[in-house]
Amino acid sequence: MAIMLNRRNLKLQIWDPAVVESDETVVEQGWQVQRHTLRYRAERLVAERRTRGQEIQIKKLLETDADLEVFCALPVNTDGPAIRAGLAAQLPQYWQERAEFPTESGAMMLDLGEPIGVLYGQANLTAYPVWSLTHRELVGDLLRRLQEHYRLVYQYTLEQRLAEVYFMVGSELASPPLVSPAIFREWVVPFARELIGMAHAAGAKVIQHYHGQIRLLLDDFLAMGADALHTIEAPPVGNCTIAQAFDVVGDRMTLIGNVQYDSFRSMTEAEMTAEVARVLAEVNGRRWILSPTAGPYEPVISDQMQRNYLAFLRAGWNLGAR
């Protein structure tokens, strides 16, 4: 009753070998400390997660302007042969995973990352929006250097025809209200557009994932050129109804969604069936793929969530157009 996309990624060192990364777990004054360190020449950046009983303290790798300036000066791994060798070493496991996936069930999907994710994932999100004002060009330069790395990664995976679909999540990492629309168009759009173009040139499809205030950015998503956009969220979660999204994209892009993940946790099966019916009525036969907005996140989901997923599938199968 569903098409499944088997989402995988390939791990690769983003920094030049001159950047030394290390991890350690120690106990300090009753705190268990997980520490991640980047060293480059005389510079050192440290991220920490401290736990003591129910207490948790998080220190991101990038907390201050000085941290950001060191980070943006790190050399990026753009050694083409080394990148290809690192990816090739992971192919036996990948091909095994692909062989285990029934082809009639759907398609393989690669999530390889985008430049903005490298910064966002390490940044204190209170400082990050300020840096979009004070360090705009510095960050832009880092993103352009990171794009050289991602260009090589995408090129190799596309040449090897590893997946039919590529999944891109960077757009939600530099968008309003966290940063301005102008920053979104500088830090996200050109990099995604190039990678999407590479995928299309190789015959692959691309889905972009976005949670949040998407209504004013829909034209930008059309300009980036992905085949589909997941997910469109109405207030209070987002700011765009399905009808408003279709008013902008028409039939130029497939929209994907839109049952909230928390609904799978909280609803009864009858409520889930009614929610699917409501979404499909709003879609009204237009270019749409029914999907949850996210998840599941837990290693093991509850019995009720399992029943709700089955109710979701049955309602989509019985009520949807196909």
pLDDT of residue 35: 98
Tell me if 157 sits within 8 A of 112, measured CB to CB.
Answer: yes
pLDDT of residue 322: 67
Q: Which residues pair with 56 in a beta bridge?
A: 51
pLDDT at residue 321, as a whole number: 74
Q: Round to whole Å and give the CA distance between 167 and 96.
A: 20
Distances (CA, A) of 283 to 26, 38, 181, 315: 53, 48, 27, 15
Q: Is 237 helix (H, G, I), strand (E, B) or coil?
A: coil
DSSP helix/strand/coil, 14: coil
Backbone CA torsion sign across 276, 281, 282, 284: positive
The pLDDT of residue 154: 98
CB atoms within 10 A of CB 180: 16
Q: Are strands 106-110 and 228-230 parallel, antiparallel or unpaired?
A: unpaired
CA distance 217 to 32: 42
- Residues 117 and 136: their CA atoms lie apart, in Å, by 16
- DSSP H helical segments within the chain, as ranges? 65-72, 80-88, 91-100, 115-120, 127-134, 136-159, 181-187, 189-201, 218-224, 242-249, 261-266, 269-283, 303-319
pLDDT given for residue 228 in this prediction: 98
User: What is the secondary structure of 62-130 as a DSSP string?
Assistant: B-SHHHHHHHHTSPB---HHHHHHHHHTTHHHHHHHHHHS-GGGEEEEE----HHHHHHTTB-TTHHHH
User: For residues 147 and 143, what is the distance between their CA atoms, to the nearest angstrom?
Assistant: 6
**Torsion-angle region of 188 (φ positive above 0: left; ψ -120 to 50: alpha; else: beta):** alpha
Q: Which amino acid is at 286?
A: R
CA terminus-to-terminus distance, the chain:
11
Q: 145-183 pLDDT, tens per residue?
A: 999 999 999 999 999 999 999 999 999 999 999 999 999
pLDDT of residue 297: 87
Hey, what are 226's tokens? Answer: 């992905």
Average pLDDT of adjacent 10-residue blocks, the chain of 322 residues: 93 96 96 98 98 97 98 98 98 96 94 98 98 98 98 98 97 96 98 98 98 95 98 93 96 95 96 97 94 91 96 95 70
Structure tokens at 92: 């036996």
**pTM for the full predicted model:** 0.95
- Cα distances (angstroms) measured from residue 214 to each of 172, 192, 240, 245: 9, 16, 7, 9
User: What pLDDT was estimated at residue 103?
Assistant: 85
- pLDDT at position 110 is 98
As given in the structure block, the two tokens for residue 152 are 């090589």
The 10 Å Cβ neighbour count of residue 153 is 21
C-alpha separations of 265 from 3, 161, 259, 279, 304 in Å = 22, 37, 11, 18, 7
Which percentage of the chain shows pLDDT scores above 70? 100
